[in-house]
Structure 1
Amino acid sequence: MSLFQNIIIIIILIAGAGFLALTEIALAAARKVKLKILAEAGDERAQQVLDLQENSADFFAASQIGLNAVAILGGILGEGAFRPYFLNLVTRFYTGEWAETISFALSFTLVTSLFILFADLMPKRLAMIAPEKISIAVINPIQVFIKVCKPLAWVINAIANLLFRLFKVNTTREDNITFDDISAVMDAGAQAGVLQKQEHHFIENVFELEERNVHSSMTTRENVIFFTLNEPENSIRQKLAEYPFSKFLVCNDTIDQVIGYVDAKDILVRILNNQSINQLNESTIRTVLTIPDSLSLSEVLDRFRASKEKFAAVINEYALVVGVITLSDIMITVMGDWVTPIEEEQQIIKRDNHSWLIDGGTPIEDIKHALGIDDMPDEEHYETLAGFMMYQLRKIPRPADSVEFGGYKFEVVDVDHFKIDQLLVTRIIEKPESLIQSEES
């Protein structure tokens, strides 16, 4: 055959190999979620791609048969077609015994480079750009190719399956989606601009509900405002005016003797109707939902959904009330500043780019978000920043006590009756070596 005919055949072989490489990567990389959406919308080809992914052995066997056959045939034709011309070129400069070897190497390099570039690298990169669209476009011709290669593919698959069983290799594909997979998709969406920063933060918070303990969002015991059965009317009015809560616990004498709760709306209705509220009774006291303090926020949300309640008392293992939590508290955890009342005291105040004033009761998850820290040391042993300080110092902290971790310095600023009220967190900025040397000198 002439050089022109050989070149035409090689171009056809490269095109065939490129098509197979494009198809192989597209079908392997096509995401099932997108394909299912297209199939549910009525695209039959998307369903065919899904079926092929479920039973991909015949396709991959046929693909490898085609790719290897084309590559070998292309190498044979290319070497025979180009070597004489390279030999003529080489003999103009060199006529020794290595001329044949050099011309063969040049011919082999040219053909191999053409196949790598046009039949492997470029098709695979194109397939990764839009695998779902490409897999749907090529599904019909590739099924015809699979039928043509099916007899030889069956033999090859039989041998491969025998070897897999012999070496006890599990060939079942795991399609379980983990939180890490979803998190990676969210990060990619945020980097691509599909998800806004705030939306990304919301989604992360939703998944963290399973990990965050009820302590991270509840109103703690010392901050719980409650009524007693014999609460004077003036005291009730004063608490309603001073604390804008919608629900209040009702206890016998102490907070640990919980009877139920009252809705502030019910009491205000009685006041507007000029009815006496000298004594709380069954008409106003409702049964309170009690939950253990070991629950996660996700489990608390399930309890609220099952009981149709939005308010619960949190009880520890000694049957003591450690706090109260509402549905609004959980929503604030998810939505953050978007639903936090403006007048509510902020737990994290950014002073400048390198320092923060933080309340000791701030949940550790909020600290990690604010400071950009992935993990705190042994964080399963505490829930708040105050707990972190006590765990690290192994004592009740005093003002000026500090801990350094993750490139930050955590310093106690204010302590009230052994309770850490405020901490100053500063970023540790390393000084340049030249400045350190000048100070030492």
Structure 2
Amino acid sequence: MSLLQNVMLLILLVLAAGFLSLTEIAFAGARKIKLKLLAEAGDARALKVMALQEQSADFFAASQIGLNAISIMGGIVGEGALRPHFIGWISTFYNGPALDNIGFAVSFLTVTFMFILFADLMPKRLAMRAPERIAVMLIAPISLFIRICKPLSWLINSAANVIFRIFKIDMTREDSITFDEISAAVEAGAQAGVLQKQEQHFIENVFQLESRSVASAMTTRDNVVYFKLNETEDSIREKVASHSKFPVCDGTIDRVIGYVDTRDILVRLLHKQAPVQLNELTIRTVPIIPDTLTLSELLDRFRASKETFAVVINEYALVMGVITLSDIMLTVMGSWGNTLEEDKQIIQRDDGSWLIDGSTPVEDVKRTLGLDSLPEEENYETAAGFMMFMLRKVPKKTDSVEYQGVKFEVLDVDHYRIDQLLVKHLAPKDTP
């Protein structure tokens, strides 16, 4: 063949190898979630791509057969076509005994450069930009190529399967998605500007409902406002102004018999059905839940029972607090759920330090301070719990803890309960 014919054949081989490299990366990198979205949008080719990923052995075998065959043929054609011309060009200024070897080396490097650049590097970089779109576009020709290579692919795959079985290697594809992977994708979306910062926090908080207990979001026992069975009308009127739902107790808070919704009381007041009394007409059955429930489990119970209020008890049947659907929603919204500055659990000061309420969940503390974790988090739920765990005693004012360059100092204590912490990043120590 002439030089032109050889060069044209070499170009065709490079393009064929580039096509196989492009499809190999596209099919391997195509994400199942995006393919499902394309399929739901009506693109049937996405279903074929997903099916090919489930049975990827035939595709990779055919791809490797094609790439290796093309590479070998490209070396033969390139060396035979280019070597004589390189020898003729080099002989114009060098005609020594190494001329033939130099011509071979130059032709080899030229063909290798062409295959690396146009058949490997560039196609793979293109495929990484939009693997799902490219995989959907090329599913028809690659399916035909796989059918052509089917006999040889079967032989190669059979040998590979035998070797995998000998070494007990499980080749089942794992498609499960973890929270860390979702969180990383959400963070990447926020950094790229696709998601706003508050949207990123909302999404992460929703997934954390599965791990956070009701104790991290409830109104604690000390702050619960409740009615007694013999509550006076004046006392009821006074308390109604501050809350919407009240537990009703027989004497003490640990003997809860139900709860009252202020809407029922207001209806009676509007209809001038005074005096306001606590009886079977106004007291509702209250859900009693253990403090070991997660927020996600409680949300399911609220959905099933149509209730939005529950009393939380511990293993000794003592009331730990109360929780409402609004408390769960505030957990999802984080600081965006607090419209008043004084209601916020975390307030940043002008000097860059933070005032953190002792009841602030540790997840919010970590996010604010940029910490990946806190020591043995399974032992506590709040910032106050973290301090007690680290200090190994009942904290008092000015007690402090340092962890990963952050100083936590007790600012205020109310009857053994930590009200507020002062938290700040420590300046790095000077090194000699």
Q: Is the structural similarity TM-score above 0.5?
A: yes
Once the 2 structures are TM-superposed, how far is the Cα of residue 135 of structure 1 from its aligned partner?
Answer: 1.5
| Residue aligning to 2:251 | 253
Once the 2 structures are TM-superposed, how far is the Cα of residue 268 of structure 1 from its aligned partner?
Answer: 2.0
**Contact 1:393–1:403 (Cα < 8 Å) also in 2:** yes
Q: Distance in 2 between matches of 1:327 and 1:267?
A: 21
Matches within 5 A, 1:2-401: 2-241=2-241, 243=242, 245-277=243-275, 279-342=277-340, 345-352=343-350, 354-401=352-399
SS in 2 for 1:399: coil
Gaps of 5+ in 2: none
Q: Distance in 2 between matches of 1:136 and 1:184?
A: 26
Q: Distance in 2 between matches of 1:44 and 1:229?
A: 65
| Residue aligning to 1:417 | 415
**Contact 1:231–1:278 (Cα < 8 Å) also in 2:** no
**Contact 1:267–1:277 (Cα < 8 Å) also in 2:** no
Once the 2 structures are TM-superposed, how far is the Cα of residue 134 of structure 1 from its aligned partner?
Answer: 1.3
**CA distance change for structure 1 residues 97 and 44 in 2, over 3 Å: closer, same or farther?**
same
| Residue aligning to 2:405 | 407
The amino acid of 2:38's aligned partner reads L
Deviates more, 1:44-53 or 1:16-25: 44-53
Normalised TM-score (structure 1): 0.93
The amino acid of 2:162's aligned partner reads L
Once the 2 structures are TM-superposed, how far is the Cα of residue 163 of structure 1 from its aligned partner?
Answer: 2.3
Once the 2 structures are TM-superposed, how far is the Cα of residue 343 of structure 1 from its aligned partner?
Answer: 7.0
Deviates more, 1:423-432 or 1:113-122: 423-432
Normalised TM-score (structure 2): 0.95
Once the 2 structures are TM-superposed, how far is the Cα of residue 3 of structure 1 from its aligned partner?
Answer: 2.1
Tell me the alpha carbon deviations over residues 284-326 of structure 1, each in whole angstroms, 9 at most, x when there is no partner: 1111110001111111111211221100000011111010000
Tell me the alpha carbon deviations over residues 62-86 of structure 1, each in whole angstroms, 9 at most, x when there is no partner: 2111111110011111112222233
Tell me the alpha carbon deviations over residues 45-104 of structure 1, each in whole angstroms, 9 at most, x when there is no partner: 222222222222222222111111110011111112222233334445544443322322
Deviates more, 1:127-136 or 1:64-73: 127-136
Q: Distance in 1 between matches of 2:361 and 2:37?
A: 39
SS in 2 for 1:173: coil
Q: Percent identity?
A: 66
**Contact 2:380–2:386 (Cα < 8 Å) also in 1:** yes
**Contact 2:265–2:276 (Cα < 8 Å) also in 1:** no
Once the 2 structures are TM-superposed, how far is the Cα of residue 179 of structure 1 from its aligned partner?
Answer: 1.5
**CA distance change for structure 1 residues 94 and 46 in 2, over 3 Å: closer, same or farther?**
same
SS in 2 for 1:352: coil
Q: Distance in 1 between matches of 2:67 and 2:341?
A: 68
Deviates more, 1:86-95 or 1:57-66: 86-95
Tell me the alpha carbon deviations over residues 184-210 of structure 1, each in whole angstroms, 9 at most, x when there is no partner: 221221122111111111000000001
**Contact 1:267–1:284 (Cα < 8 Å) also in 2:** yes
Q: Distance in 1 between matches of 2:88 and 2:208?
A: 71
**CA distance change for structure 1 residues 353 and 195 in 2, over 3 Å: closer, same or farther?**
farther
Gaps of 5+ in 1: none
**CA distance change for structure 1 residues 252 and 296 in 2, over 3 Å: closer, same or farther?**
same
Q: Distance in 1 between matches of 2:351 and 2:91?
A: 71
Once the 2 structures are TM-superposed, how far is the Cα of residue 353 of structure 1 from its aligned partner?
Answer: 5.1
**Contact 1:415–1:422 (Cα < 8 Å) also in 2:** yes
Tell me the alpha carbon deviations over residues 103-133 of structure 1, each in whole angstroms, 9 at most, x when there is no partner: 2222111110100000011011111111122
Q: Distance in 2 between matches of 1:51 and 1:362?
A: 47
